[in-house]
Amino acid sequence: MTTPDAYDKLAPQRRKLITFALLGCAFLAMLDGTVVGTALPRIVEQIGGGDSWYIWLVTAYLLTSSVSVPVYGRFSDLYGRRRLLLGGLAVFLAGSLACGLAGSMEALAVSRAVQGLGAGALLTLGMALIRDLYPPSRADGLIRMQTVLATMMVLGMVGGPIVGGLLADHAGWRWAFWLNLPIGLTAAAVLALALPDNRPAQTPSGRLDAAGIVLLSTGLALALTGLGFKGNATVNHPLSWTDPAVAGCLLGGLTLLALLVPVERRASVPVLPLRLFRHRSYSALLTAGFFFQVAALPVGVFAPLYFQYVQGHSATESGLLLLPLLIGMTLGNRLTATAVLRSGHVKPALLTGAALLTVGTAAFFTLDATTSPALTSGWLLIIGLGAGPAMGGITIATQNCVPRADMGTATAGSALTKQIGGAFGLASAQSLMGHSATAAPTSSAIGSTIAWSGTTAGLLALAALLLMRNTPIPTPKSRSAALDPRSATHAAPAADGSSA
């Protein structure tokens, strides 16, 4: 017996209003991940501290937002998403207010951690609720909304430094955080009034998996902290993989995550259902998402160093020279949505993206001081076109290869592995740069770092995608064929995309 879907009878205008509020929540979460960078000089000027605090102001936010993602995702499957999202939004806004009122670097770092704790709900539950609002019967709408969401993620990543710099120069750095309040409060009001409380048919009767939550959160926090130490090492303060701070955090985190496995096997209501990993497509997609980020993130970090230190461009000019990458990501994501709508299959688009990402990064092996901006722009465009399909495509495929009751957990897993992939990619690239690091990075060091990171991870993403089943995505054409009484009866697809 099925429970009526509270979202099924929503009026079109109400559905759109809720969707815009969810997109606003996701945009705020992405924006605040990068807003501190350009505002930091003014922050240091007014409340003290030093540039070394940049690491902690960024890490505190990314750490708490990452470790809370799987908990929000799992609990939303068990108890419903509406209250968790509103609670996470309240925590995020309280952290934003505290950031704007902070009078010291210590207080600002703690407030950023609170912000991140709420931000973990905004992006994850926003994506899951968009999937709820646009189920398989509305798959065309889902694909379009995922495209818009991915575009907003790009705008959030790009807009953070721009917004932070503009507000720091013209309105005061505190407004980089206070700006969240009117947007967030408006989204909260819309969600509180318009979003139905669609809870699962049955509430789990087992005990709360407290041990699993502690092991998962602490293990992820230690592992991400170790990667953060390694990724933020500098020439003046180098850190190797065997450094006690790096190795200790990584080993401690991996040990706790290993201990999580037997705990989850015994838990009556596990926070991390291990049965999901028996779906071949789900495991393959998580692995591919991880390697997509490993390949793509170093490009956005190290290409500006080349433009500034090697070719002598200003910070503003280097940002503009990076636009082909962002245009390619947006365009690649949009083309993926179009291809999926026409074919009903996402695997070919993801394979094409991984191939383009590999080719585009491999071109950086030839980078030197005289490489023309037109040529680097072409390479960046190809990389962006390759990274674009992973932004929305992996999420769409992930949500369609598991049972709907696990969709929040699956969405959280996809988001988390991408975040971990980004942290690992930055740490690995920094390690590669360290072998030839000088006070001023050379073109050969930057080019080989981008190329080795991108080609290796791109090929591994390709290998992972080849292992996934070609998960069918419902489209208007496929639904019409299914409803046509003249069509032959076919077996329903299994949860991992294979024939039942």
> What would the mean pLDDT of 154-180 be, rounded to a whole number?
76
Task: Name residue 193's amino acid.
Answer: L
Question: Which pLDDT score, from 0 to 100, does residue 497 have?
Answer: 43
Give the CATH class of 12-195. mainly alpha
Instruction: Assess whether pLDDT exceeds 50 at residue 152.
Output: yes
Structure tokens at 216: 């998962």
22 C-beta neighbours (distance < 10 Å), count? 27
Query: How many helices (DSSP H) and strands (DSSP E) are in the chain?
Result: 18, 0
Report residue 444's pLDDT band, with 50, 70 and 90 as the boundaries: confident
Q: Percent of the chain scored above 70 by pLDDT?
A: 83
Instruction: Assess whether pLDDT exceeds 90 at residue 484.
Output: no
DSSP 219-267: HHHHHHHHHHHHHT--SSS---TTSHHHHHHHHHHHHHHHHHHHHHHH-
Instruction: Assess whether pLDDT exceeds 60 at residue 143.
Output: yes
- Length reported for the chain: 500
Q: From residue 194, how far is each of 87, 136, 251 by CA, in Å?
A: 16, 22, 46
> What would the mean pLDDT of 433-459 be, rounded to a whole number?
80
- Burial of 321-332, coded b for 16+ CB within 10 Å and e otherwise, reads bbebbbbbbbeb
Phi first, then psi: what are they for 430, rounded to 5°?
A: -65, -35
> What would the mean pLDDT of 323-337 be, rounded to a whole number?
85
Instruction: Assess whether pLDDT exceeds 90 at residue 359.
Output: yes
Question: Residue 487 has what DSSP assignment?
Answer: S
Of 346 and 56, the one with more pLDDT: 346
Phi first, then psi: what are they for 493, rounded to 5°?
A: -70, 145
Decide: residue 272, CB within 10 A, 0-12 exposed, 13-18 middle, 19+ buried: buried
CATH second-level architecture of 273-474? Up-down Bundle (1.20)
What CA–CA distance (Å, rounded) separates 331 from 327? 6
So where are the chain's domains?
A: 12-195, 210-269, 273-474
Of 10-19, 117-126, 431-440, give the lowest mean pLDDT range: 431-440
Of 326 and 55, the one with more pLDDT: 326
Phi first, then psi: what are they for 499, rounded to 5°?
A: -75, 140
236 C-beta neighbours (distance < 10 Å), count? 6
Fold identical between 12-195 and 273-474? Answer: yes
